[in-house]
Structure formats: structure tokens, C-alpha cells
Amino acid sequence: MPAGDFRSVGGRGTGSDAHGGAIHEIRADPNLRTGRRNRARRSYTRDVTHSSTRIPFGPPLAEADPEIAAAIRAEEARQSDGLELIASENFASEAVLEATGSVMTNKYAEGYPGRRYYGGCVHVDKAERLARKRAKKLFGARSANVQAHSGTQANMVAYLALLEPGDTFLGMALDQGGHLTHGHPLNFSGKTYNPVPYGVRRDTEQLDLDELHRLAREHRPRMILVGASAYPRIFPNPEIREIADEVGARVVTDMAHIAGLVAGGALPNPMPHSDIVTTTTHKTLRGPRGGLVLWNDRKLSKRIQSITFPGTQGGPMMHTIAAKAVCFHEALQPAFRDYARQTVANARELADALVEGGFRVVSGGTDNHIVLLDVRVRGTTGRAAERTLEAAGITANKNTIPFDPEKPMIASGVRLGTAALTTRGMRETEMRIVASFMVRALDGAGDRAALRRLRGEVAEFASGFPLYTRPAR
């Protein structure tokens, strides 16, 4: 490129800005003597540094905002010193964290790769194309949209693509294991559409497929939504597809909780039996917090793309999309298959150990990473059990169980998940130790001194499975 062509440094000519023009001219003219060039650059830097409008890029977070820095350090210590058993949480890799905190945070990129409403998108376009390519390969899908900010937004896109306001759909009831976006009356899905809930059998606490079939014949839904947030068993996707075809319904599978297990081959892939598959990218997939929409029918492409943008959002979060690409790449590696299988094995071992400890596990066991524990046998509630476990350094969440007599904020159960502990390298032997910690905590719920001692044991145990090699920020 000839001297004087300022595109070589990303400029647009000398322009009208004195500093911008000077720096471009200095970099572009090879005939300037080194001394003059360096003096000019030092002068340019000094002028900008002394500007009262310049953002202070230099100070680290601890100096720029000590309060937030302290909160982050404390959270990192909490994650490191405790046992994370919340089924919807996991630990992202350092590579995912690096991408999430990268300069792609700064880029506005409304639109899609190659068709943006802003310039300067060449590198974020590459990141988004990589994310889509890897997602499609990971789940065997023809098409992918990686822009959804969350699983809820991904589900919203699916609803808008397949339904009109007031249309009927079937979704698992929240108190039977479903999710807010599967038809809860306070959620958009319950307010905009006509949800008909299906659930589990009383005797097995597993999906009542006969009831689902009966409801489909009776209500002739436009869509059947498959998936849950507190269901420890596998959904029979081929059978549900047959029911949907019989009544002329579309199938949407929300695999937010099990996406990583599907990616790793530990659970069946719902993609061949679904019109649309939605998921989050954290949880078992172990990526950044975000959403993903997958589909095979090219006739849906234009509608799904336009509903996402401009239908339900403006500019995508390009730093998160870059981190999604990283997590998809990680999930495509052979080691991730070992992780997925171990996560399921750990859940089964944890369930067995808790049953041996005198607890009742809902549905009699688990097929995925979730263990739903009925704590009524200890004369307590889910809310009380959650607080007791947290006092001992064990994080879980209260959860309703099927046909629960308690209100959701009280609940009779605790939902557990093994994805995060498996990420730390724990296996079946450690699951039995974790179960023993839980039994001791819940048996000694009223003894604060005993819980403090147990918390120390938990921290010592957790220290054998360090999280991050980098120091706390």
C-alpha cells in the first residue's frame, strides 16, 4: 500500500481531528526521521493523557472501584471454598472468562455477519460465524442463532416463530418440574398464549406420557414444549414427536439444563425430533450466560432471524458471543465427552448416597445431572434446608417437588446438580463425601457451632479441587 494511504492503520485520512490526523500522518510517512517521529508520538500521548475528558484506562479494578473489586474477590472465595450444587450453575473456563471480559464488549453490531448496521464489524463477524458454525456441528443442526441474551429470550423467539397470540400449547407444569417460560401465568408464555400443563405420574414421579397424549388429542395444540428445569429423567423425544405429528403440532425442546450432556453424548440429542431447540450456554454446557436457538427447517430461518433481530433485541453482546464460540469449541473436544458422562455418573452416585443417608429422592433416581431431594423426612422444608446447607458451605436451592403441599417459596424439596463439582474434578468417591456433609448438616440444623465446624471441613475438602490458577482480582 503506498505511503499516504492511511487505511493501513485503520484511519480515514488526516481528518479534521488534530490528534487523529497527526498520528495517522506520522505512522504513514516513512520519510520522517526516527527522532522526529518519536518526539511527535510522545507529544501526542502527553496531550491525550492530560485531557480532562480521557477515560482513565489505567487503574485496575481494585483502585478504580474498591467496593466492586471486594465483592468479586469475596464471590471468587465463596465459589472456591464451598460446594456448588445448584443444578443451573457451573464454572466457566478461564478462556471463556477471558473472552467475556474482552474488548469485544466495546463493539456495537446490530444485524448479522456481513449485514450489520455499523462499520468496523470484521472481527466480531468472524467471532459470530465461528460460534454459529461450532454450535451447528456440536448439536447436528442445520441452522443456529447465537444472539439470544438468555434462555428465556431464546424461548420467546421460538414462541413467536411458531405461534400467534392466544394459540394453545402444551408445556410441563412448573410445580411438576417445568420452567417459568413453559406457561406460568405470570410469565409472557402464560399471558400471551394459552398453556395447557402436563406433568408426572403420582406413583413414579416420571412423565405421564399417556396424559400428554390425551391432552394433545383434547386440545389440539399448535405446539408441544418439551423440557424442564427440575426433572431428573429423560424425555422420550421420539414418542412426543409422534404425538405432535398426530395432532398437527410443532415441537420445541428446551434443553437448557441438559445441553452439555447432549453435547457430550451422555444423553440423547433432541434435534432430530424437534422443530426448534433452545438452550442456555451456561449450566452443563459450561459457557457464558446466554442463549442459543437451533433448527433444521430452512423455511423457519427468515422468521427466526428477524424475530431475534430486530424483533426482540437490538445490538447483540459480541463479547458473550465470542465466549459462546469458545465454549462450543471446548465442548467439541474429546475430554468434554468424559466430563458429560462423569456428571451423570456423579449424580447417580450422589442420589444413591443420599438415599442410604435416609432421604427420599424424587422419581427414585436420576438420568441426568439433577437430583431432586424430598427433605420432609427430616421434618424440614426446602427453604430451611437451603439455609442450613449454606451455613455449612454447601449451595443448593429450595424447590417444589411433584404434588408439593407447600408454597414455592417454602417448598418440600431441594434441587441439586453435579455439573459444577464435576468441573472441579470430583468423581463418585467425592460424591459420597459430599452426601455425608449434607446429611450431617441437615441432621444438625439447629447446632450453629457444629455447622461452623462442618463449614471448615467443607472448605478444607474443596481446597483439594482448586478452581482457577489465576489470582483473585
Give the pLDDT band (50/70/90) at residue 469: confident
How far apart CA 393 and CA 396 sit, in angstroms, is 10
- Report the distance separating Cα 335 and Cα 211, nearest Å: 40
Q: Which residue among 128, 205, 208, 254 is the active-site one?
A: 254
Residue 25 pLDDT > 80, yes or no? no
pLDDT bin (cut points 50, 70, 90) of residue 23 is very low
pLDDT > 70 in the chain, percent: 87
> What are the structural domains, with CATH classification, of the chain?
6-49 (no CATH), 98-331 (3.40.640.10), 335-462 (3.90.1150.10)
| Predicted pLDDT at 58 | 78
Distance of alpha carbon 218 from alpha carbon 215, whole angstroms: 5
Sign, CA dihedral 437-441-442-443, equals positive
Name the phi and psi angles at 69, rounded to 5: -60, -40
Q: Which residue has the higher pLDDT, 40 or 466?
A: 466
**Per-residue confidence band for 5, with pLDDT thresholds at 50, 70 and 90:** very low
Which one of the listed residues 73, 137, 289, 337 is annotated catalytic? 289
Q: What single letter denotes the amino acid at residue 105? A: T
* Cβ-Cβ contacts under 8 Å for 294 (sequence gap 6 or more): 135, 136, 139, 141, 143, 144, 271, 276, 277, 278, 279
Q: pLDDT tens for residues 307-352? A: 999 999 999 999 999 999 999 999 999 999 999 999 999 999 999 9
Give the count of beta carbons closer than 10 Å to the beta carbon of residue 463: 10
Q: State the average pLDDT over residues 195-202.
A: 98
Residue 472 CB contacts under 8 Å (≥ 6 apart), including other chains: 72, 73, 76, 77
Sign of the dihedral defined by the CA atoms of residues 433, 435, 439, 445, in that order: positive
Residue type, 416: L
| Measured distance CA(455)–CA(461) in Å, rounded | 10
Roughly how many angstroms between the first and final C-alpha of the chain, as a whole number?
43
Banded model confidence at residue 465, pLDDT cuts 50, 70, 90: very high
At 56, the pLDDT band (50, 70, 90 cuts) reads low
Q: What is the rounded CA–CA span in Å between residue 116 and residue 334?
A: 35
Q: Retrieve residue 278's grid coordinates.
A: 433452545
Question: What does pTM read for this prediction?
Answer: 0.88
Q: Tell me the pLDDT tens digit for each residue of 87-101.
A: 999 999 999 999 999
Q: What is the pLDDT of residue 290?
A: 98
Q: Are strands 168-172 and 223-226 parallel, antiparallel or unpaired?
A: parallel
Residues listed for the chain:
473
Q: What is the pLDDT confidence band of residue 470, given thresholds at 50, 70 and 90?
A: low
Rounded CA separation 174/403 (Å): 11
Confirm if 84 and 421 have CB atoms less than 8 A apart: yes
Q: Tell me what pLDDT residue 132 has.
A: 98
Average pLDDT, integer, range 385-403: 98
User: Quick one: pLDDT at residue 9?
Assistant: 28
Read off the pLDDT of each residue in 34-43 and give the average, rounded to a whole number. Answer: 48
Among the listed residues 215, 260, 261, 255, the one whose alpha carbon sits nearest the alpha carbon of residue 235: 255
Catalytic residue (choose from 283, 286, 383, 415):
283
Q: Is 373 helix (H, G, I), strand (E, B) or coil?
A: strand
Task: Please say if the pLDDT value at position 30 is more than 50.
Answer: no
| Residue 129 binned pLDDT confidence (cut-offs 50, 70, 90) | very high
| 5 is annotated as an active-site residue | no
Q: Is 254 a catalytic residue?
A: yes
DSSP readout, 252-270? EEE-TTTHHHHHTTSS---
φ, ψ (nearest 5 deg) of residue 73: -60, -40
Amino acid identity of residue 101, one-letter, is G
Residue 167 designated active-site = no
Q: Pick the catalytic residue: 110, 125, 443, 457?
A: 110
Identity at 204, one-letter amino acid code: T
Residue 27 above 60 pLDDT?
no
For residue 327, the 8-state DSSP code is H
Write down the pLDDT at residue 54: 63
Q: How confident is residue 51, by pLDDT bands cut at 50, 70 and 90?
A: low
User: Average pLDDT of 416-444?
Assistant: 98
220-226 average pLDDT score: 98
Q: In angstroms, what is the C-alpha Rg of the chain?
A: 26
| Phi, psi dihedrals of residue 291, rounded to the nearest 5° | -125, 170
> Among all chains, which residue has been given the C-alpha cell 414462541?
159
DSSP string, 168-196: EEEEE-GGGT--GGGT-TTSHHHHHSEEE
**Residue 40: predicted pLDDT:** 45
pLDDT mean over 444-472: 91
pLDDT at residue 368 tops 90: yes
Chain-wide mean pLDDT for the chain? 90
User: H or E element: which one contains 279?
Assistant: strand 276-280
The active-site residue out of 41, 76, 108, 167 is: 108
Lowest mean pLDDT among 38-52, 149-163, 254-268, 424-438: 38-52
Measured CA to CA, the distance from residue 372 to residue 365 in angstroms comes to 8
Which run of H or E residues covers position 213?
Answer: helix 209-219
- List the catalytic residue out of 152, 280, 320, 343: 280
Q: How confident is the model at residue 8 (pLDDT cuts 50, 70, 90)?
A: very low
110 included as an active-site residue: yes
